[in-house]
Protein backbone atom coordinates (compact mmCIF):
# COMPACT_ATOMS: atom_id res chain seq x y z
CA UNK A 1 0.00 0.00 0.00
CA UNK A 2 1.25 3.47 -0.94
CA UNK A 3 0.73 6.70 0.99
CA UNK A 4 -1.43 7.98 -1.85
CA UNK A 5 -3.75 5.00 -1.34
CA UNK A 6 -4.51 5.77 2.36
CA UNK A 7 -8.11 6.79 3.13
CA UNK A 8 -9.53 8.62 6.13
CA UNK A 9 -11.59 6.72 8.70
CA UNK A 10 -13.64 9.85 9.43
CA UNK A 11 -14.69 12.20 6.71
CA UNK A 12 -13.45 15.76 6.60
CA UNK A 13 -15.66 18.00 8.74
CA UNK A 14 -17.13 20.69 6.54
CA UNK A 15 -17.19 24.14 8.04
CA UNK A 16 -20.56 25.91 8.06
CA UNK A 17 -20.23 28.86 5.77
CA UNK A 18 -22.50 31.82 6.15
CA UNK A 19 -24.27 33.43 3.15
CA UNK A 20 -24.88 32.05 -0.29
CA UNK A 21 -21.83 29.80 -0.43
CA UNK A 22 -23.06 27.71 2.47
CA UNK A 23 -25.36 24.76 2.48
CA UNK A 24 -28.28 26.54 4.12
CA UNK A 25 -27.84 29.84 2.37
CA UNK A 26 -27.97 33.43 3.60
CA UNK A 27 -28.02 33.25 7.45
CA UNK A 28 -27.08 29.54 7.53
CA UNK A 29 -29.55 28.66 10.30
CA UNK A 30 -28.48 31.48 12.65
CA UNK A 31 -31.60 33.54 12.24
CA UNK A 32 -31.44 37.32 11.96
CA UNK A 33 -28.80 39.76 13.14
CA UNK A 34 -27.82 40.23 16.73
CA UNK A 35 -26.01 38.38 19.53
CA UNK A 36 -27.40 34.99 18.54
CA UNK A 37 -25.96 35.32 15.03
CA UNK A 38 -22.40 36.07 16.18
CA UNK A 39 -19.54 33.70 17.00
CA UNK A 40 -18.96 32.87 20.67
CA UNK A 41 -22.64 33.15 21.59
CA UNK A 42 -22.56 31.49 25.04
CA UNK A 43 -25.06 33.03 27.43
CA UNK A 44 -25.32 32.36 31.16
CA UNK A 45 -28.30 30.02 31.78
CA UNK A 46 -31.17 31.50 33.80
CA UNK A 47 -31.47 28.52 36.18
CA UNK A 48 -27.88 29.12 37.33
CA UNK A 49 -28.77 32.61 38.54
CA UNK A 50 -31.79 31.16 40.39
CA UNK A 51 -29.55 28.60 42.14
CA UNK A 52 -27.00 31.27 43.10
CA UNK A 53 -29.75 33.29 44.81
CA UNK A 54 -30.63 30.40 47.13
CA UNK A 55 -28.96 30.61 50.59
CA UNK A 56 -26.24 28.11 51.45
CA UNK A 57 -26.74 25.55 54.21
CA UNK A 58 -24.28 26.83 56.80
CA UNK A 59 -23.59 25.77 60.36
CA UNK A 60 -22.94 22.03 59.82
CA UNK A 61 -19.31 22.29 58.75
CA UNK A 62 -17.04 19.33 59.46
CA UNK A 63 -19.58 17.67 61.73
CA UNK A 64 -22.25 17.56 59.05
CA UNK A 65 -23.54 14.18 60.26
CA UNK A 66 -23.66 15.21 63.92
CA UNK A 67 -26.98 14.41 65.56
CA UNK A 68 -29.29 17.16 66.83
CA UNK A 69 -30.67 14.92 69.61
CA UNK A 70 -30.42 16.17 73.20
CA UNK A 71 -27.94 13.72 74.66
CA UNK A 72 -27.44 13.65 78.43
CA UNK A 73 -24.23 14.76 80.11
CA UNK A 74 -22.22 11.70 81.17
CA UNK A 75 -20.81 11.44 84.70
CA UNK A 76 -18.90 8.41 85.98
CA UNK A 77 -18.84 7.10 89.54
CA UNK A 78 -15.09 7.77 89.77
CA UNK A 79 -15.74 11.52 89.50
CA UNK A 80 -18.44 11.39 92.18
CA UNK A 81 -16.10 9.48 94.51
CA UNK A 82 -13.42 12.17 94.17
CA UNK A 83 -15.62 15.27 94.53
CA UNK A 84 -18.46 14.37 96.93
CA UNK A 85 -18.44 13.21 100.54
CA UNK A 86 -20.44 10.38 102.08
CA UNK A 87 -24.12 11.26 102.59
CA UNK A 88 -24.10 14.11 100.03
CA UNK A 89 -27.10 14.61 97.74
CA UNK A 90 -26.38 14.54 94.01
CA UNK A 91 -28.70 16.29 91.52
CA UNK A 92 -28.11 17.94 88.13
CA UNK A 93 -28.13 21.42 89.73
CA UNK A 94 -25.51 20.39 92.32
CA UNK A 95 -23.33 18.88 89.58
CA UNK A 96 -23.45 22.20 87.68
CA UNK A 97 -22.62 24.16 90.87
CA UNK A 98 -19.63 21.91 91.60
CA UNK A 99 -18.40 22.31 88.01
CA UNK A 100 -18.72 18.62 87.13
CA UNK A 101 -20.93 19.43 84.11
CA UNK A 102 -21.56 22.62 82.13
CA UNK A 103 -24.78 24.38 81.23
CA UNK A 104 -26.17 23.60 77.79
CA UNK A 105 -27.63 26.65 76.01
CA UNK A 106 -28.02 28.31 79.42
CA UNK A 107 -30.04 25.41 80.85
CA UNK A 108 -29.25 22.52 83.17
CA UNK A 109 -28.84 19.44 80.95
CA UNK A 110 -30.10 15.93 81.58
CA UNK A 111 -27.53 13.77 83.40
CA UNK A 112 -26.73 10.09 83.14
CA UNK A 113 -24.48 8.36 85.67
CA UNK A 114 -22.40 5.43 84.40
CA UNK A 115 -20.76 2.71 86.45
CA UNK A 116 -17.07 3.07 85.57
CA UNK A 117 -15.00 2.89 88.74
CA UNK A 118 -15.70 1.85 92.31
CA UNK A 119 -17.28 3.85 95.16
CA UNK A 120 -17.10 3.48 98.93
CA UNK A 121 -19.29 6.46 99.89
CA UNK A 122 -23.07 6.48 100.29
CA UNK A 123 -24.65 9.03 97.95
CA UNK A 124 -28.27 10.17 97.59
CA UNK A 125 -28.74 10.43 93.81
CA UNK A 126 -31.96 11.98 92.48
CA UNK A 127 -33.16 13.54 89.23
CA UNK A 128 -30.55 11.68 87.13
CA UNK A 129 -30.65 8.73 84.78
CA UNK A 130 -28.42 5.90 85.96
CA UNK A 131 -27.16 2.70 84.38
CA UNK A 132 -27.83 -0.72 85.90
CA UNK A 133 -24.22 -1.33 86.95
CA UNK A 134 -23.95 2.12 88.57
CA UNK A 135 -27.20 1.58 90.47
CA UNK A 136 -25.95 -1.74 91.85
CA UNK A 137 -22.67 -0.17 93.03
CA UNK A 138 -24.46 2.76 94.71
CA UNK A 139 -26.86 0.42 96.52
CA UNK A 140 -23.94 -1.81 97.62
CA UNK A 141 -22.31 1.25 99.18
CA UNK A 142 -25.60 1.80 101.11
CA UNK A 143 -26.62 4.76 98.96
CA UNK A 144 -30.02 5.77 97.58
CA UNK A 145 -31.15 6.19 93.96
CA UNK A 146 -34.37 8.09 93.20
CA UNK A 147 -35.42 7.96 89.56
CA UNK A 148 -36.95 10.95 87.80
CA UNK A 149 -40.45 11.69 89.10
CA UNK A 150 -41.69 12.71 85.67
CA UNK A 151 -40.94 9.32 84.13
CA UNK A 152 -42.58 7.38 86.94
CA UNK A 153 -45.70 9.59 86.77
CA UNK A 154 -45.98 9.03 83.02
CA UNK A 155 -45.64 5.26 83.48
CA UNK A 156 -48.31 5.24 86.20
CA UNK A 157 -50.66 7.30 84.04
CA UNK A 158 -50.22 4.89 81.12
CA UNK A 159 -50.94 1.88 83.34
CA UNK A 160 -54.04 3.60 84.77
CA UNK A 161 -55.32 4.34 81.26
CA UNK A 162 -54.83 0.69 80.25
CA UNK A 163 -56.76 -0.52 83.31
CA UNK A 164 -59.57 1.99 82.68
CA UNK A 165 -59.89 0.90 79.04
CA UNK A 166 -60.06 -2.76 80.11
CA UNK A 167 -62.78 -1.94 82.67
CA UNK A 168 -64.77 0.02 80.07
CA UNK A 169 -64.54 -2.86 77.60
CA UNK A 170 -65.67 -5.32 80.28
CA UNK A 171 -68.61 -3.08 81.24
CA UNK A 172 -69.63 -2.70 77.59
CA UNK A 173 -69.52 -6.48 77.12
CA UNK A 174 -71.65 -7.06 80.25
CA UNK A 175 -74.26 -4.52 79.05
CA UNK A 176 -74.44 -6.29 75.67
CA UNK A 177 -74.94 -9.66 77.39
CA UNK A 178 -77.73 -8.21 79.57
CA UNK A 179 -79.51 -6.80 76.50
CA UNK A 180 -79.32 -10.17 74.71
CA UNK A 181 -80.70 -11.96 77.80
CA UNK A 182 -83.56 -9.45 78.08
CA UNK A 183 -84.45 -9.94 74.41
CA UNK A 184 -84.51 -13.72 74.81
CA UNK A 185 -86.67 -13.50 77.95
CA UNK A 186 -89.09 -11.12 76.21
CA UNK A 187 -89.39 -13.46 73.23
CA UNK A 188 -90.04 -16.47 75.48
CA UNK A 189 -92.73 -14.56 77.42
CA UNK A 190 -94.43 -13.51 74.18
CA UNK A 191 -94.44 -17.14 72.97
CA UNK A 192 -95.94 -18.44 76.24
CA UNK A 193 -98.62 -15.69 76.14
CA UNK A 194 -99.58 -16.65 72.60
CA UNK A 195 -99.84 -20.35 73.56
CA UNK A 196 -102.08 -19.55 76.56
CA UNK A 197 -104.33 -17.38 74.36
CA UNK A 198 -104.69 -20.22 71.85
CA UNK A 199 -105.63 -22.69 74.62
CA UNK A 200 -108.28 -20.25 75.94
CA UNK A 201 -109.70 -19.85 72.43
CA UNK A 202 -109.97 -23.62 72.02
CA UNK A 203 -111.77 -24.01 75.34
CA UNK A 204 -114.24 -21.22 74.48
CA UNK A 205 -114.88 -22.75 71.06
CA UNK A 206 -115.78 -26.14 72.65
Q: What is the pLDDT of residues 55-112, one digit of tens each?
A: 887 766 666 677 777 889 999 999 999 999 989 999 999 999 999 999 988 889 999 9
Tell me if 9 is assigned to some domain: no
- Residues 204, 187, single domain; the answer is yes
CB 41 within 8 A of CB 35: yes
Domain count, the chain: 2
Q: Which domain does 143 fall in, by range?
A: 73-147
Rounded to whole angstroms, the Cα distance separating 119 from 138 reads: 7
Tell me if 44 is assigned to some domain: no
User: What are the DSSP calls for 30-73, one per residue?
Assistant: S-SSSGGGSTT--PPPHHHHHHHHSPP--S-TT-TT---S-PPE
- Residues 136, 86, single domain; the answer is yes
Q: Where are the alpha helices (DSSP H) in the chain?
A: 46-53, 77-83, 92-98, 132-140, 149-205
CA distance from start to end of the chain: 139
Tell me if 15 is assigned to some domain: no
- Residues 79, 137, single domain; the answer is yes
Final residue of a structural domain among 131, 147, 163: 147
Tell me if 82 is assigned to some domain: yes
Per residue in 8-48, pLDDT tens? Answer: 888 888 776 666 766 677 777 778 889 888 888 888 888 88
Mean pLDDT, all residues of the chain: 81
Tell me if 13 is assigned to some domain: no
- Residues 156, 98, single domain; the answer is no
Amino acid sequence: MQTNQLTRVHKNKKRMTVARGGKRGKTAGRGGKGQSARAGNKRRPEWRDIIKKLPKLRGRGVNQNKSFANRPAIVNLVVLEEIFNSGDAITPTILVEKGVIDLKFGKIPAVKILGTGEITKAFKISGCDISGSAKEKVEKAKGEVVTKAGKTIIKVKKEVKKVESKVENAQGASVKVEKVVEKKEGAEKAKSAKKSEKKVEKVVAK
